[in-house]
Amino acid sequence: MSSEALFQIHLVFGYVAWLLCFGVYVWPWLKAMDQVEAQRAIATLHSFRFFGLVFILPGVVSPNLPASFAVFAAYWDFATGVLAMLALLTVRIRPLFWLFVAAFNLVGFVDLILDYYHAVQVDLPAKAGELAATYAIPIIYVPILMITHVTAFYLLLRPRSEAARAPAGDAAAS
């Protein structure tokens, strides 16, 4: 089987496995939380995206890994991780927290979409071996990142339930 076929199978099954896990364990847990706690949980996962800098670390990836893919992926991942950390650090200053939540999700989502685009442009599936030790990132880590970005956007855009509005209304009335 070709490297390209193996990479594509791994990527698809990475999404399938995470969607199954997410649907059974993570989604019910996030849905039961209030908005802030759910977004904090998602931001905590994304705060580890500084790890994307490994794509430009000599000796970890092949020197033949296309720079047009590696450099973009590394720095946009890093930016997403920093924004997620800023969201976590500003949770008590709600306007800033929501700004950073929106920012890390927007930057991170755009990063992943453009990483997929760049991967296709440089035919990364055929060169998957060039990823060396970082091969696990697009196969295991990226699917849960994409799933949680979509979830974060859904949670940001869904109407608040009556139960969630009541405490806010009670606090305003007192």
Can you give the pTM of this predicted structure? 0.89
Residue 26 lies in a domain: yes
Residue 172 within any structural domain of the chain: no
pLDDT at 159: 77
Residues 6+ apart with CB under 8 A from 165: none
pLDDT of residue 158: 86
165, 151, 139: which is closest to 101 by C-alpha? 151
Which tokens belong to 24? 């059974």
- Owning domain of residue 53: 3-158
Per-residue pLDDT of the chain (174 residues; tens, 9 = 90+): 899 999 999 999 999 999 999 999 999 999 999 999 999 999 999 999 999 999 999 899 999 999 989 999 999 999 999 999 999 999 999 999 999 999 999 999 999 999 999 999 999 999 999 999 899 999 999 999 999 999 999 999 987 764 455 444 444 444
Q: How far is the CA of 122 from the CAs of 34, 72, 104, 137, in angstroms?
A: 42, 13, 26, 17
User: Domain for residue 139, yes or no?
Assistant: yes
Domain count, the chain: 1
